[in-house]
Amino acid sequence: MTPLDVATWIVRLAGAYAAAGLLFALLFLFVLRGVDRIDPSARAGSRGFRWIVLPGVAALWPLLLRRWLAGASEPPEESNAHRRAAAGGRG
Amino acid sequence: MSHGYQAVGWSPFKKRYDLVLGGLLAGYLALFSLATLLLRPEITAETLLIRAFGTAALLLLHAVLAIGPLARLDGRFLPLLYNRRHLGVTMFLAALVHGALATFQFHALGDAPPLVSLLASNTRLDSLSQFPFQQLGLAALLILFLMAATSHDFWLAQLTAPVWKALHMGVYLAYALIVAHVALGALQDERSPLLAGALGAGVVAIAGLHLAAGRREAALDRERRAAGADGFVEVCGVDEIAEGRARVVTLGGERVAVFRYEGRLSALSNVCRHQNGPLGEGRIVDGCVTCPWHGYQYLPASGASPPPFSERVPTFRVRVVDRRVFVDPRPLPAGTPVAPAVVSESGGGG
């Protein structure tokens, strides 16, 4: 395989991923509005918000698709040393 | 905070910040172009624009990287931090224009598609002077895109602040790639030592600022405190905490902020839900602990944001004995109300 072949495949795969992401983003943000289901703050969000997060949704679509399919209704809770210790219970 | 997302949470300050930023960028591009045309009148318009936007992006990246440690070392730089995301997105857009123009100029006229040509036309990894520096720039641009695309608070919520911060630490990898991109690219043809000197000074300044700020932070985290029989840890004297301010100590593997307000003391996790800002460097405003980075607020006795907001941080038990402050290092679940320790202003403890 020549460098040109490798580069062609990389660009094709990246293009397919980006195209799938763009399609997902349009459905997720504007048509099926999955974003409203996984994040309550999106329901009252502006249209401008949907456009401004579109590039990120197209880039990280597998993460959001997984959360949407899993039926998430709130953003995840963050984890740090204090929160882990508090969740572990105390005497 | 947790209500309807907007595209941009505009405030008068942010508008001024963006106006100044846009003015500075436009001024820089105009000055750079003018100076280049005077010094090298033979330059083509494409090359001029590639260099103007490339150097603008490089300068903005240095500003983005310098603001964090500068704000840590001197609170007067904090206002620059408040809108750093706009600075970062502007830097990405300048880098994108630079990359797009360069890809068009050097790769659009061949048989292969431009991106394929960019990736495959130079594979001389064994040569310094012929090194494929454009691929380094492309890799940096991809990292900067991910950061710009996830700069909205929606992503902060979806990724959680620790993951979001880890992703945005990619700026240091992007910086290293860009320094290599410039050193192995533009500097190889540059006869004047000016650009090399400026790049070297920039790297030294960024590294120096981070080392200075890091040393200060590490000293705070190294402080060890022994717990008493009841598990409470002595933190400081009551009088060492100014009214409306906090004393920050490291307990339970993370920092705790002990706030003094209206004759009372309350302790919260120092980590703001929004970008993990340092709550203990903020102050009490309208009865709420207010994060110095973006103004997120929490009630000191419960660690909960006032309605309609829903952010919560862990709280800690506090007691005062003989005007010494003691904190139970075992955190309570986020948003748990804790009775504040009462401070007698005339001496003794509560």
Question: What single DSSP character describes residue B260?
Answer: E
Q: Are B8 and A43 an interchain contact pair (Cβ–Cβ within 8 Å)?
A: no
Q: What is the CATH number of domain B233-342?
A: 2.102.10.10
Phi, psi of B30 (to 5 degrees): -65, -45
Reduced to 3 states (helix: H, G, I; strand: E, B; else coil), residue B46 is helix
List the single residue in A with minimal CA-CA distance to B268.
Answer: A82
Residue A90 pLDDT exceeds 60: no
Question: Cα B348 to the chain's mean position, in Å?
Answer: 42
CA distance A43 to chain B (A): 7
For residue A2, give the chain B residue with the closest CA. B120
Report CB contact under 8 Å: A42, B5.
yes
Select the residue from B154, B163, B250, B258 to test the A interface by mutation, using most A Cβ atoms within 10 A: B154
Helical packing angle, B45-73 and B194-222, nearest 10°: 20
Interface predicted TM-score of the whole assembly (ipTM), two decimals: 0.92
Whether the CB of B196 is below 8 Å from some CB of chain A: the reply is no
How are beta strands B254-261 and B246-251 bridged, if at all? Answer: antiparallel
Residues of A in contact with B273 (CB under 8 A): 78
Question: Nearest by CB to B7, which of A46, A85, A86?
Answer: A46
Sorted by sequence, the CB contacts under 8 Å of residue A15 that are 6+ apart come out as: none
Query: Which portions of chain B are predicted below pLDDT 50?
Result: 347-350
Q: Is the peptide bond before B79 cis (omega within 30 degrees of 0)?
A: no
Instruction: For residue B148, list chain A residues with Cβ-Cβ distance below 8 A.
Output: 55
* B317-335: pLDDT as tens digits: 999 999 999 999 999 999 9
Count of domains forming chain A: 1
pLDDT in tens, A7-42: 999 999 999 999 999 999 999 999 999 999 999 999
* B237: phi then psi, degrees, rounded to nearest 5: -85, 155
Q: Looking at beta carbons, which residues of chain B come within 8 Å of A36?
A: none
Which pLDDT belongs to residue B2?
A: 53
- Kindly list the residues from chain B whose CB atom is less than 8 angstroms away from the CB atom of residue A29: none
User: Helices marked H in B40-113 — which ranges?
Assistant: 45-73, 78-82, 84-107
Question: Per CATH, is B12-221 categorized as 3.30.1330?
Answer: no
Q: What is the pLDDT at residue B81?
A: 81
Q: Where are the domains of chain B?
A: 12-221, 233-342
Contacts of A2 in chain B (CB under 8 A): 120
Count, in order, helices (H) and strands (E) of chain A. Answer: 6, 0
The range of the structural domain enclosing residue A32 comes to: 3-87
Q: Which residues have C-beta within 8 Å of that of residue A67, sequence separation ≥ 6?
A: A38, B158
What span, in angstroms and rounded, lies between the C-alpha atoms of B247 and B267? 9
Q: Which of A54, A59, A17 lies closest to B154 in space, CA to CA?
A: A54
